[in-house]
Amino acid sequence: MTDGPKHLLIVDDEAALREAIAERLGDHGFVVEQAASGEEALERLAAFAFDVLITDLRLPGIDGRKVLDAAVERYPELIAIVITGFGTVKDAVDAIKQGASDFITKPFQFDALMHVLRSAMEQRRLKTENAYLRSQLEQRYRFDGIIGRSARMRELFQLLETVASTSSTVLITGETGTGKELAARAIHHNSSRRNNRFVALNCSAIPETLLEAELFGHVRGAFTGAIGNRQGRLEQAHRGTLFLDEVGTMSPALQAKLLRVLQEREFERVGDSHTVKIDVRVIAATHSDLTKMVADGSFREDLFYRLNVIPVHMPALRDRREDIPLLVQHFLERLALESGRPLVTVSQEAIRRLMAYPWPGNVRQLENAIERAIAFSKGRAQLDVNDLAPDIQNQPTAPDTSDGWFPDEGIDFDRYVEAIELSLIRRSLERTQGNKRQAAKLLNLKRTTLIEKLKRLEPSDSPKA
């Protein structure tokens, strides 16, 4: 709440009581207005944003409940305290459900009212402060819908922000499930094109023969089945953004046509000789290694350079494990919101397993794993290891042994040693930003030994894009 005097409206048809309270509240620094009826209260509430409303529930004409309703609906931040008659607890409970902060029962001492008022104000202050802190956290560790707090992700957010302010072509690379489409949308939403369309086309989902017409549109009779004229995705994205997903699967013929669009900003619909000019930003994505495809001749080198004006790489989840707790929290909150069920927590041991798992399917796989765990937890308030899929459950984790820790039930020696090996290799790889040669050097291992160990310890690790 802001500083300065608090504006308070007191509503009661008993003039003597109302005036006495108003006077004493005034002594306590409130700026007080009075209303003698529900009608009068509604008028004042419509005209002025009070900080506090104190209203009797029983009023002639429009009753206190309606006044309360109107007040909390209009001003979610307003503190409302209702005055109830003796023996009407149910009314009080209903009022709280309706959004009142607290209630006081007639007859009451002024000090009791002050007490209720002070604690309601304190509660509101804490709530506002928490909401503020939360929004700070959310702001700091996200860009649009992309969550992350690791150094890599913060660098990525900066890059995306810079990229959004340009109209350059972007090539987004990264393994499956790393958020390539999310990043493309974030760029669009933060660009000056945000009020125009974001049109996505997955090049691998459409049969080769139809892809050209899908992209460029066609005129009637251009091919069998082309009954009318049809706009392609390119035209739909005019002044907006065209997202070409899995661009690596395009045929050589189509690659040539796309190259022309990028160079000349013009094209023809299939079966038409008329040239269409277009203003579109292209964002392409691929999980395959285009440089390799250029080397083996399956992807045009000139097109690669046209697309790769600004490269954006989405890091694999296993290379930013520190983001896992935050992502888990994000998915839990989202699932709770969607299902209307209460927010659950996750045991630390489960978090450890989640952080140890290599996540070949990256964030999408993590999202699914959390959803699955919630289904398995059968409404318990905390998810634990047993709710996780077996391969995640069995992921060896290495607790800190420096303080002489040793569990009563003993340990599985081989698995434990492997977990420590893996943890050391990961830490050294993080230190060297994934450079295996340097990491091996830090560990006094041969590079080939490090790679072999990684292969053995992280069997489900897919090759990096």
Nearer to ligand ATP, 21 or 363 (CB): 363
- By beta-carbon proximity to Mg ion, the closer residue of 14 and 181 is 181
Q: What's the rounded Cα separation, in Å, for the pair 14 and 11?
A: 9
38 binds, among Mg ion, ligand ATP, none (CB under 5 to 8 A by kind): none
Task: Provide the minimum distance between the beta carbon of 191 and ligand ATP in the complex, in angstroms, as a whole number.
Answer: 17
Q: Name the residue nearer to Mg ion (CB basis): 144 or 181.
A: 181
Question: Which residue number, 205 or 417, has a Cβ lying nearer to ligand ATP?
Answer: 205
For Mg ion, the closer of residues 181 and 289 by Cβ is 181
Chosen from ligand ATP, Mg ion, none, partner binding at 203 (C-beta under 5 to 8 Å by type): none
Q: Residue 364 binds what, of ligand ATP, Mg ion, none (CB under 5 to 8 Å, by partner type)?
A: ligand ATP
377: three-class secondary structure by DSSP: coil
Positive or negative, the CA dihedral 23, 29, 30, 33 is positive
Indicate which of ligand ATP, Mg ion, none lies near residue 18 (CB less than 5 to 8 Å, by partner kind): none
- State the Cα–Cα distance between residues 35 and 12, nearest whole angstrom: 7
Phi, psi of 220 (to 5 degrees): -55, 135
Phi first, then psi: give them for residue 174, nearest 5 degrees.
Answer: 150, 155
Give the one entry of Mg ion, ligand ATP, none that residue 5 binds, where binding means its C-beta sits below a cut-off of 5 to 8 angstroms depending on kind.
Answer: none
Look up residue 234 and give its two tokens. 């390119």
Contact 168, 160 (CB under 8 A): no
To the nearest whole angstrom, how small is the minimum distance from the Cβ of residue 143 to ligand ATP?
9
Binders of Mg ion in range 62-81 (CB under 5 A): none
Residues 175-214 interacting with Mg ion (rule: CB under 5 A): 181
Q: Which two tokens stand for residue 125?
A: 């202050």
Please state the closest distance from residue 386 (CB atom) to ligand ATP, in A. 25
Are 43 and 62 within 8 A, CB to CB?
no
Report the partner that residue 178 touches, choosing among ligand ATP, Mg ion, none (CB closer than 5 to 8 A by kind): ligand ATP
Task: Tell the smallest beta-carbon distance from residue 334 to ligand ATP (Å).
Answer: 9
Q: Which partner, Mg ion, ligand ATP, none, binds residue 182 by CB below 5 to 8 Å per kind?
A: ligand ATP
Q: Which residues bind ligand ATP (CB under 6 A)?
A: 145-148, 174, 176-182, 287, 327, 330, 363-364, 367
Q: Which amino acid is it at 459?
A: P
Taking the CB of residue 423, how many other CB atoms lie within 10 A of it?
A: 17
Q: How far is the CB of 327 from Mg ion (least distance, A)?
A: 17
> Min. distance of Cβ 150 from ligand ATP in angstroms?
10
Q: Which amino acid makes up residue 358?
A: P
Within 10 angstroms of residue 36's Cβ, the number of other Cβ atoms is 16
Strand order in the sheet with 281-286: 198-202, 241-245, 281-286, 170-173, 310-313
Shortest Cβ contact with Mg ion: which residue? 181
In whole angstroms, the minimum distance from the beta carbon of 173 to ligand ATP comes to 9
Burial of 262 (0-12, 13-18, 19+ CB in 10 A): middle
Residue 147 binds which one of ligand ATP, Mg ion, none, with CB within 5 to 8 A depending on kind? ligand ATP
Closest CA to 31 of 4, 7, 2: 7
Instruction: Tell me the DSSP string of 283-329.
Output: EEEESS-HHHHHHTTSS-HHHHHHHTTEEEEPPPGGGGGGGHHHHHH
**Stretch binding Mg ion (CB under 5 A), from 8-16, 19-27, 174-182, 357-365:** 174-182
Place of tokens 């399956």: 298
CB of 331 to ligand ATP, least distance (A): 8
Task: List the interface residues with Mg ion, window 310-339 (CB under 5 A).
Answer: none
Residues of this chain that bind Mg ion (CB under 5 A): 181
